Structures are given as structure tokens and as C-alpha cells.
Amino acid sequence: MSFETVSEARSHGGTQGVYRHASQSTGTAMTLSVFVPDRAGPMPVLWYLSGLTCTHANVTEKGEYRAACAELGIIFVAPDTSPRGANVADGDGWDIGQGAGFYVDATEPPWSAQYRMWSYVSEELPALVAANFAADMGRQGITGHSMGGHGALTVALSHPGRFRSVSAFAPIVAPGDVPWGQKALGAYLGPDRQAWRAHDAVALIEDGARLPELLVDIGTADPYLDTELRPELLEAACANAGIALTLNRRAGYDHSYYFISTFMADHVRWHSDRLA
């Protein structure tokens, strides 16, 4: 299965594309952003998972990753955050339903029919990217923001050895312990909190999952820092597990793409060093 081209534009010595395809995981059309530098031969891939309310477009328009990716020869892939459409279940509020798939395969109705973002981002989409772009799938990194930071951490922890590098911007590190996560995991996976642990980075680490190292940036002025993000829980879990965590607390920065874009090139370069 191949992608339909929605748009392509020249940028920073590469091609910024937006593509659409019929997803077997979700049963819907899915849209994603892919930046490909002008380089011959297979290139490493950096996956970026977006946060609540976002589409592929937020990081594409505001993320400021292209210059660094072009310089370093990295393909940057940013999928959507949920299935979408008139016949797709939606929720009450911006933190559930369309735009808020939480990177899980839902088991509870009405979500279970189409909300299969775990299968989409961890299995279906990598196969499609490998088939359609000059991607070296032996050199993958993953990052994300907020809900997408949660997704990046849990996908990487659950697929040991797949990713050479893992980072996150303001991730939800322990969704089972915070309101956003409790609402989403309860709706999508049901009331059994044991089932939530497979989609909770801190719980996965407590249960034995490991990464060699991890880079996380948070803003000290992030309004969600103490209620939804709880980076100190990840810090403690990594310390107990012997995971090398670099946790940068960026003074005065908030949760927005002003924050993300400021440190995006730093993350791309950090990934590049590990994807060489």
C-alpha cells in the first residue's frame, strides 16, 4: 500500500511532504508529515508523536526541525494523533476522542473499533515508511510532546532494541496517576488498572522495561507540570532502574511550540549522534 500525496514543498534542501493513506489499523484515512533530506541512500528515521488536540500539522508548521534534519540527513516522520471522520467516535472534551488517541489500542466500545493508534504507530506506519521512503529502519529514534511524549516512551520501552535513541518534550510519564491519563486509559482500556501499566512509562520501568538512556526537556513555567506531567516520577523510576536520564528543566518555558521549537534542534542533534 502506498501513500497519496497531499502536498510537497521544498524546504532546507529537502522535501516536506504531507501524505494520506487508508489505514488497516484504524479503518480510516490517516494523514502524516514526512521530511526527507536531499541525500542518496538510506537515512535514519526520527519519529515524532504529537500531543493532545494536535494533528500532523502542528509540528510541521511550528517545530523547526527541518534545518537540522537536512544538515544531518535524518528523515522526520510525524503522524496524526487519532483516527478522524464523521463516523469515528468522539468524546466529551478535548482530552478524549478525536485528537486524543493516547497511542493505545482501545479495548472498550465505542473506541475499540477504530482507536488502534498503538498498532498504527508501532507496526503499520513503520512498514509503510520503509516501503515508500529511503529509510534505514535499523537506525530509528523516537520523540514526542506531552501525550506524544508518553507515546514515545511507552513504544520505545515496549520494543527493546528497535530505537537507538529516545527523547521527549514535556511527556506525560505516569498517565495512571494523573487526570489526563486516567480519563483516557479508563475510557479506552476499561477500569482494570493493571491493563494500564503497559501504557505507563513509569509503570513499565517499575515492571522491568529498560532503555539505555533518555533525554527529556520540560519547562519550569509549564502549567501542567505538577498536575499532568510529573517528571519527578520518571526521574525516580530511572534512578532506581539505572537508566541514564538527562532531564533538562528549562527556566521560564511553557508547554507550547515556542518551547518545543527552541530545543528541537538540540534533540535532533542528540538523536543524530546515536543514529550515526
**Which is catalytic among the residues 56, 199, 255, 271?**
255
**Which is catalytic among the residues 105, 222, 267, 271?**
222
Active site residue 146: yes
Cell of 138: 535499523
One DSSP character per residue, the chain reads --PEEEEEEEETTEEEEEEEEE-TTTSSEEEEEEEEES-SS-EEEEEEE--TT--THHHHHH---HHHHHHHT-EEEEE-SS--STTS---SSTTSBTTB-TTSB--STTGGGT-BHHHIIIIIHHHHHHHHS-EEEEEEEEEEBTHHHHHHHHHHHHSTTTEEEEEEES----GGGSHHHHHHHHHHH-S-HHHHGGG-HHHHHHTT---SEEEEEEETT-TTIIIII-HHHHHHHHHHHT-EEEEEEETT--SSHHHHHHHHHHHHHHHHHHH-
Active site residue 271: no
**Which is catalytic among the residues 25, 33, 50, 146?**
146
Question: How many angstroms separate the CA atoms of 137 and 124, rounded?
Answer: 13
Active site residue 254: no
Question: How many angstroms separate the CA atoms of 122 and 119, rounded?
Answer: 5
Which residues are identified as catalytic?
A: 146, 222, 255
